[in-house]
């Protein structure tokens, strides 16, 4: 009977040791995860004080100076208004398309508006089967580039899709 009491007493400290070992391994795993996370994705660099002041307390014009927009007339890129239209077949499907035009030299806003209307008219003649899949999208890109080339007589060098959604 004395042997049984010694066995019972020895089991109690092993429970405390097991709990301590699990807690220690948990802390070690959390520290390792934090260390590895900082190595793979370091925290973002802080902004210089000037940019923070302009972005927080400045007007919209000053904020635009901090982060310039890529599609500007100075770059020769004109962002067209979003084009929303229904497809030819099935007529209950709609398409939303945002396109930017890259001009040779100075952009022509009047020509860009004509191209916008031409793209809208063309999208109303397209069926869903024509634009399905990667090949259909590539054909659409080529068709729009060809129409823009004809309309602009070579003054537009590239048609860039920004968004293309069919619902």
pLDDT tens-digit map of 90-142: 889 999 999 999 998 888 889 999 999 999 999 999 999 999 999 999 999 99
Q: How confident is the model at residue 23 (pLDDT cuts 50, 70, 90)?
A: very high
pTM given for the model:
0.57
pLDDT at 53 over 50: no
pLDDT at 16 over 90: no
Distance CA 100, CA 103 (A): 10
Q: Could you tell me which of 40, 163, 16, 11 has the C-alpha nearest to residue 98?
A: 163
Query: Structure tokens of 134?
Result: 């990667």
pLDDT in tens, 80-100: 999 999 999 888 999 999 999
Q: Could you tell me which of 111, 114, 113, 116 has the C-alpha nearest to residue 98?
A: 116
Domains of the chain with CATH codes: 2-66 (no CATH), 76-166 (3.30.479.30)
What per-residue confidence (pLDDT) applies to 63? Answer: 45
């Amino acid at each position: 009977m004395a042997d049984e009491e010694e066995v019972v007493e020895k089991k109690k400290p092993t429970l405390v040791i097991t709990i301590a070992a699990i807690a220690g391994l948990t802390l070690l795993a959390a520290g390792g995860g934090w260390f590895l996370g900082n190595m793979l994705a370091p925290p973002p660099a802080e902004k210089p004080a000037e940019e923070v002041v302009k972005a927080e307390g400045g007007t919209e014009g000053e904020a635009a100076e901090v982060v310039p927009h890529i599609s500007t007339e100075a770059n020769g890129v004109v962002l067209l208004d979003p084009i929303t239209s229904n497809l030819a077949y099935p007529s209950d499907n709609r398409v939303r398309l945002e396109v930017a035009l890259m001009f040779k030299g100075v952009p022509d806003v009047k020509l860009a508006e004509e191209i916008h209307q031409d793209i809208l008219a063309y999208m109303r003649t397209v069926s869903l089967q024509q634009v399905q899949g990667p090949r259909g999208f590539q054909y659409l890109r080529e068709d729009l580039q060809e129409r823009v080339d004809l309309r602009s007589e070579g003054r537009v060098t590239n048609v860039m899709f920004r968004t293309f959604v069919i619902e």
